[in-house]
């Protein structure tokens, strides 16, 4: 497989799978262009070499039906400004009109296909649909890590129709950082795992126990573990059906010599609201109260572990950080990661939102663009979208 940095796109049309699934407000303005900005280096490389670019993406969940609110036309003006090129908007992603536009595309020009998910064939991984997309270009580039865990037409199936196919700069960076953390982490290796539920992080916890030195647990999932240890958790979030699983994870961690740390103090609120009455309590949460963040002693203990780390992977917040009074745990951990000398990898979703809010994003080694994809990659799973352009 060619590598994008050494490949010459001169005279070639490259079809690039990007992730332009960006948030829009009710006026269809982009409220966060992180994903667009992340794709620019790959697009600019093709143009600088003297190639032409055909971009394809999904936006939202239109479920096989063309809907104006999910149209990628809302992205064109912003993308054109960022690239300094007038991006041509296709009326669809397949069909005679689109094929004619692609055929007429001159070197140095950029064309954006309409939302792939206006067709169910995209998510079904349909071969004929994939072939129709492939027929638009000479080279295939996947730069959409956020969808690399799905075997969709544009992320995986399409690759079989190309001699020249490769990962874009963004996908390549994800593979290097996440793959490196999985395959060959610099020790000590600390994983910070938070979020609401154990169920969503079960497989990644099992996988990390095989690799890390320390796991720091926060968020709602902590209280399933504390209950498994016999502590009272009041009205805190709990998955009672996973108590036995939590006990087994604690046993496995101990057997592997992993330092599995749970909160030693918590912010216990009388209601789920920012103006709640808050008490700082230890590991026993009083009846009639729910823990909504880890306490100051926990932040101190976790920060001390992070300071020793050489590799840190973080997925999931420490508490309900969207409410200012319950954000200190998440932001405290964020500050510790930013101040450490570790290779720091922030794995998708709420952790990325928290890091961006903290203003410390530029202090992190790598912020993953994929939520589910980064979790599955950390679990050691082979992602079909990565496999299609790397093997």
Known binding residues are 19-21, 35, 58-61, 117, 150, 201, 322, 348-351
Q: Which residue has the tokens 């690039």?
A: 16
3-class secondary structure, 197? coil
Find the catalytic residue in 180, 200, 371, 372: 372
Which residue positions form the known binding site for substrate?
Answer: 19-21, 35, 58-61, 117, 150
Find the catalytic residue in 194, 295, 347, 349: 349
**Is residue 372 among the annotated active site residues?**
yes
Question: Which residue spans within 234-282 are E strands per DSSP?
Answer: 259-261, 266-269, 278-281
80 has which bridge partners? Answer: none
Q: How far is CA 391 from its chain centroid?
A: 22
According to DSSP, the β-strands at 52-56 and 88-89 are unpaired
| CA–CA dist 173, 32 (Å, integer) | 21
Find the catalytic residue in 197, 206, 310, 363: 197
Q: Return the axis-axis angle of helices 202-209 and 243-255, rounded to nearest 10°.
A: 10
Which residue positions form the known binding site for ATP?
Answer: 201, 322, 348-351
Q: Are 180 and 365 in contact (CB under 8 A)?
A: no
Q: Are 98 and 116 in contact (CB under 8 A)?
A: no
**Is residue 35 among the annotated active site residues?**
yes
| CA–CA dist 38, 19 (Å, integer) | 9
Which residue positions form the known binding site for (2R)-3-phosphoglycerate?
Answer: 35, 117, 150
CA angle 61, 66, 70 (to 5 degrees): 50
Tell me which residues are annotated as active site: 35, 197, 349, 372
């Amino acid at each position: 497989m060619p590598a994008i940095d050494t490949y010459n796109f001169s005279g070639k049309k490259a079809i690039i799978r990007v992730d332009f699934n960006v948030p829009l407000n009710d006026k269809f303005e982009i409220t966060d262009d992180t994903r667009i900005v992340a794709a620019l280096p790959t697009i600019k490389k093709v143009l600088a070499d003297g190639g032409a670019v055909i971009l394809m993406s999904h936006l939202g969940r239109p479920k096989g039906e063309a809907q104006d609110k999910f149209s990628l036309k809302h992205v064109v003006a912003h993308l054109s400004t960022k690239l300094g090129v007038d991006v041509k908007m296709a009326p669809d992603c397949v069909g005679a009109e689109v094929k004619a536009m692609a055929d007429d595309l001159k070197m140095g020009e950029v064309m954006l296909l309409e939302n792939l998910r206006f067709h169910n064939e995209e998510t079904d991984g349909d071969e004929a649909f994939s072939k129709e997309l492939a027929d638009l270009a000479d080279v295939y580039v996947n730069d959409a890590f956020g969808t690399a865990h799905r075997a969709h037409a544009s992320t995986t199936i399409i690759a079989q129709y190309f001699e020249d196919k490769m990962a874009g700069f963004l996908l390549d960076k994800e593979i290097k950082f996440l793959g490196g953390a999985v395959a060959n982490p610099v020790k000590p290796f600390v994983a910070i795992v938070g979020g609401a539920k154990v169920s969503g992080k079960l497989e990644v916890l099992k996988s990390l126990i095989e690799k890390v030195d320390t796991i720091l647990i926060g968020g709602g999932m902590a209280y399933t573990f504390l209950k498994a240890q016999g502590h009272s958790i009041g009205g805190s979030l709990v998955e009672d059906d996973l108590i036995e699983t939590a006990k087994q994870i604690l046993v496995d961690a101990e057997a592997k010599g992993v330092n599995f740390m749970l909160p030693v103090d918590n912010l216990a609120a009388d209601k789920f609201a920012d103006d709640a009455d808050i008490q700082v309590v230890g590991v026993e949460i009083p009846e009639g109260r729910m823990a909504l963040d880890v306490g100051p002693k926990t932040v101190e203990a976790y920060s001390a572990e992070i300071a020793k780390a050489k590799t840190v992977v973080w997925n999931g917040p420490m508490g309900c950080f969207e409410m200012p009074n319950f954000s200190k745990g998440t932001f405290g951990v964020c500050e510790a990661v930013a101040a450490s000398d570790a290779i720091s990898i922030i794995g998708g979703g709420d952790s990325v939102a928290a890091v961006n809010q903290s203003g410390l994003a530029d202090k992190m080694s790598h912020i993953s663009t994929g939520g589910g994809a980064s979790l599955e990659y950390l679990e050691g799973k082979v992602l079909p979208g990565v496999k299609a352009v790397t093997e």
